[in-house]
Amino acid sequence: MSVVSKILRAGEGKKVRRLAELVPLVNELEPAMEALSDEQLKAKTVEFRARLAEGESLDDLLIEAFAVVREAAWRVLGQRHFDVQIMGGMALHFGWIAEMKTGEGKTLVSTLPVYLNALAGEGVHVVTVNDYLATRDSEWMGRLHAWLGIKVGRVGPDITDFLEKKAAYDADVTYGTNTEFGFDYLRDNMGANRDQMVQRGHHFAIIDEVDSILIDEARTPLIISGPAEQAARLYYQFAGIARSLRRDSDYEVDEEKKLVYPTEAGIAKVEQALGVENLYDAVSVGYVQQLTQALRAKELYRRDKDYLIADGEVKIVDEFTGRTLDGRRWSEGLHQAVEAKERVRIQDENHTWATVTLQNYFRLYEKLGGMTGTAETEAGEFASTYNLTVVPIPTNRDALRMDQADLVFKTEAAKFNATVDDIAERHEKGQPVLVGTASVEKSEELSRLLAKRGITHEVLNAKQHFREAEIVSQAGRLGAVTVATNMAGRGVDILLGGNPAGLAIRELRARGMDPSTEEGAAELAKLEAHFAKECSEQGEKVKELGGLYVLGSERHESRRIDNQLRGRSGRQGEPGESRFFLSLEDDLMRLFASGAMSWVMDRALPEEEAIEAKMVTKAIERAQNTVEGRNAEVRKDVLKYDEVLNEQRKIIYKRRLQVIDGDDLHDYTVELLEVAMNTVVTTACPSDYPEEWDLSLLIAEVTQYYPTKFSVEDLAQAGDRDQLIESLVNEALNFYEQRPESFPGGGVQAREIEREVMLQVIDQRWRDHLAEMDYLREGINLRAVAQQDPLVAWQREGYSMFGQLMEHIDEDYLRYILHVDAVAEQPQEPDLNQAVYVAAEDPVATVASAPLAGSMDQSSIDPPAPADFVPVVKADHQKVGRNDPCWCGSAKKFKQCHGAV
């Protein structure tokens, strides 16, 4: 049994020990690796690839490949993977979550499994929480990979060129944020052919800060949506056209079945009104459905009987009780058509074009690995939702940080006073302080208090990842006070004494010098040398003062986030200290620890003094447990609800790909035609008795598919329904088979057109379906009132709506395919330039896209001219300048250090 298969069988508790047993195997190879020349070491990549091609597995290569990367990292980056880092790398390769504390060097750890898995040539995705980290890691670790002959790419909002992005995905390893990967996936599944797709599959992803991505952000799905204005305009236009059409000559109505049938004359009028040649050519715009719904709204839905107008809204009247059904809407555009007919505002939000939850996006990967400092508290959820095992990796050196007990105050004011006192005291000594807050508001409040005391400080709100990364990197300077929300400066290393390169460039700029000039560069080099020395001296002093002091101004709902904050201090065995300040007025306490509160209230305790009672600490822990549990439930719920949509999405996306990849639809079309003729005959002719046949209805229905030559008299000759069906099927098939003759490209072009039509019908109907599922989801909780389990109702109704969707797709397709002339000059829908992207990036980013939220709030469109739609542009992506200090703390310019080419 190979060493590797042994480890895979190891039980939960044994995994770490088994990993540790493999490390010596890597270490044994070290002398041999050291002896290799650069060229020989690089050649290992070629050798490994050849051995893979000959049938060896990645697991077979694991030990050697890790030894190669370790040696290469030493030569290229000047860093040699510690033994625990080797263990972490293996955990990632095996598809586990490596829990490694902050500062343990997870960025470097990832290079091991990235290299190994990249050898397979199927693409490895490295997922980060923000673009700053994606840029940093792709360039920093990219040097190592490139040296070893592994191609590195990065995707991000600044990479807008299609080919550039495609190249990034074609690389052996691709760096990017979770949202970028997710949105690319959605966009890929909106394209009309393979050439428009950037991703080439989902083989292996390594997620950095995996708890942030898979737990914290998992409650909000990624959504691409488009403006509804265009659609609204079209509804009004069709309502006007419907008004001008005449019953019986332009269309026929079957009141009983609630159906309308436009005649050829009617269609011609509509085409003229719209100025189009063939109504059926514009598949993706859906003129035909619009017309049908406008006519149904006109003829079949009566005001004050079927619906009321109240508060400018169309409300459905329940036909049995006569009461209005609040929150319900007719589907498939009928409701909007009625609104247009009544000239009220069309209640139509941004149209969802595509959506996926992060959970379901990441479940697409064949293998998933994750790393973070804080995973254990959520191990259960990782296991159940993602099938990911958490493996805690020991630290490289013993942790020295002192985590002090919480201080609890009666009032928030007293807490803040004590907080500021503590900060002032430490600041006076020169100890650097990092203050964590739970919200931007609290940050600002604290900032005001600090300013009053004359304490210089920085405030970070996770608004600008690049700028804030620079500031956080200096949070370990003597006397530095940095106030930051949880998200701010994530993933940035805080060196005690400061980051010399950053200080040097700052100083140079302050002197008004340009680092790109010869003079500036020379000066910068001097400054860097100066600061390197200065920072290391400062670092020693900071250590004597106890290292970085982390002060939490409030407990977060989740212990994990608190641990993240604590973890900013005491990296790599350095000294450090942390403490949380709480008050009974904190949200967490008020809402979830009322028992403890009344206990305190019953005792006449002084305001200013901290309460040190086990009872309170216990209560906080319980409160956190409660909230964590509740949030986990919410996420599970989101997942259960999304399950329905996810299954549907998978089916639709698969179908699209079949069509895109050249599925021949000829035989399928024949089948559909046969079924359709069967259906129309059985609807119009309920039995074999000719007296019960409604032949003019039958002809009206058949005409919706193709222009039949049969008259009522012809059809009356038939002896039974089977004969009717047979004649119609024959005629229809003949019509279908002869159509290619009218195309210049004949049968080949006919097949091509069929595929294009099918794809557009799928997309159009799928988008409508998503909108309807949205409505259903919004209203589903009202079902609880009607004694229904909302989830069950959602599953049942969602299922049935999907069934209808599939039927409608086939039906639409069939109609179009027998009418369409050519699909060449289609208005391309949807126009992605108008798309709005929504994700739960972080709280502040959500605020940053306020114009979007605004346009969604105004969720209705006024009858005449809708306001211009302003697309939301993502915040400009800042890049690390070539002359800026390198993030690694080397005291060199980026271009001379990790940015060197």
Residues near ligand ADP, by CB under 6 A: 79-82, 85, 100, 102-108, 493, 888-889
Give me the least distance between CB of 466 and Mg ion, in Å please: 16
Q: Read off the DSSP letter of residue 260.
A: E
Which partner from the list ligand ADP, Mg ion, none does 138 bind, CB cut-off 5 to 8 Å by kind? none
Which partner from the list ligand ADP, Mg ion, none does 419 bind, CB cut-off 5 to 8 Å by kind? none
- Between CA 429 and CA 451 the distance in angstroms is 18
Give the residue nearest to ligand ADP (CB): 105
Give me the least distance between CB of 837 and ligand ADP, in Å please: 27
Helices (H), 430-517: 440-452, 465-472, 500-510
Find, among 519, 517, 437, the residue nearest to 484 by Cα: 437
Give the residue nearest to Mg ion (CB): 491
- Between CA 438 and CA 453 the distance in angstroms is 22
Q: What are the residues facing 551 on neighbouring strands? A: 435, 579
Give me the least distance between CB of 107 and ligand ADP, in Å please: 3
Q: Which two tokens stand for residue 473?
A: 């990197």
Residue 491 or 520: the one with the smaller Cβ distance to Mg ion is: 491
Which partner from the list ligand ADP, Mg ion, none does 888 bind, CB cut-off 5 to 8 Å by kind? ligand ADP
Give me the least distance between CB of 104 and Mg ion, in Å please: 9
How far lies 111's CA from each of 21, 87, 116, 195, in Å? 20, 12, 8, 30
- Between CA 516 and CA 505 the distance in angstroms is 11
Give me the least distance between CB of 370 and ligand ADP, in Å please: 12
Give me the least distance between CB of 901 and Mg ion, in Å please: 24
Residue 187 or 490: the one with the smaller Cβ distance to Mg ion is: 490
Residue 410 or 490: the one with the smaller Cβ distance to Mg ion is: 490
Which partner from the list ligand ADP, Mg ion, none does 313 bind, CB cut-off 5 to 8 Å by kind? none
Which partner from the list ligand ADP, Mg ion, none does 533 bind, CB cut-off 5 to 8 Å by kind? none
Find, among 771, 873, 643, 847, the residue nearest to 225 by Cα: 771
Which partner from the list ligand ADP, Mg ion, none does 105 bind, CB cut-off 5 to 8 Å by kind? ligand ADP
Which partner from the list ligand ADP, Mg ion, none does 82 bind, CB cut-off 5 to 8 Å by kind? ligand ADP
Residue 134 or 471: the one with the smaller Cβ distance to Mg ion is: 134
Q: State the burial class of residue 804 (Cβ atoms within 10 Å of its Cβ: 0-12, 13-18, 19+).
A: middle
Which partner from the list Mg ion, ligand ADP, none does 100 bind, CB cut-off 5 to 8 Å by kind? ligand ADP
Phi, psi of 273 (to 5 degrees): -60, -40
- Between CA 726 and CA 76 the distance in angstroms is 76
Residue 142 or 491: the one with the smaller Cβ distance to Mg ion is: 491
Which region holds residue 332: left if phi is over 0, alpha if psi is between -120 and 50, else beta?
left
Residue 110 or 708: the one with the smaller Cβ distance to Mg ion is: 110
Give me the least distance between CB of 100 and ligand ADP, in Å please: 6
Please say whether the beta carbons of 132 and 845 come within 8 A: no
Residue 140 or 353: the one with the smaller Cβ distance to Mg ion is: 140
Residue 106 or 893: the one with the smaller Cβ distance to Mg ion is: 106
Q: Which residues contact 739 (CB under 8 A, 6 or more apart)?
A: 750, 818
Give me the least distance between CB of 141 and ligand ADP, in Å please: 9
Residue 348 or 574: the one with the smaller Cβ distance to ligand ADP is: 574
Find, among 66, 72, 63, 70, the residue nearest to 40 by Cα: 72
Strands 204-208 and 124-128: parallel
How far lies 61's CA from each of 26, 66, 385, in Å? 11, 8, 30
Which partner from the list Mg ion, ligand ADP, none does 102 bind, CB cut-off 5 to 8 Å by kind? ligand ADP
Q: Which residues bind Mg ion (CB under 5 A)?
A: 106, 491
Q: Which residues contact 187 (CB under 8 A, 6 or more apart)?
A: 198, 224, 354, 832
Give me the least distance between CB of 48 and ligand ADP, in Å please: 22
- Strands of 103-167, DSSP E: 124-128, 152-154
Which partner from the list Mg ion, ligand ADP, none does 370 bind, CB cut-off 5 to 8 Å by kind? none
Range 333-349 burial, b when 16+ CB lie within 10 A, else e: bbbbbbbbbbebbbbbb
Residue 490 or 819: the one with the smaller Cβ distance to ligand ADP is: 490
Residue 495 or 596: the one with the smaller Cβ distance to ligand ADP is: 495
Which partner from the list Mg ion, ligand ADP, none does 360 bind, CB cut-off 5 to 8 Å by kind? none
Give me the least distance between CB of 832 and Mg ion, in Å please: 33
For residue 593, give the amino acid letter. Answer: A
Give me the least distance between CB of 221 and Mg ion, in Å please: 26
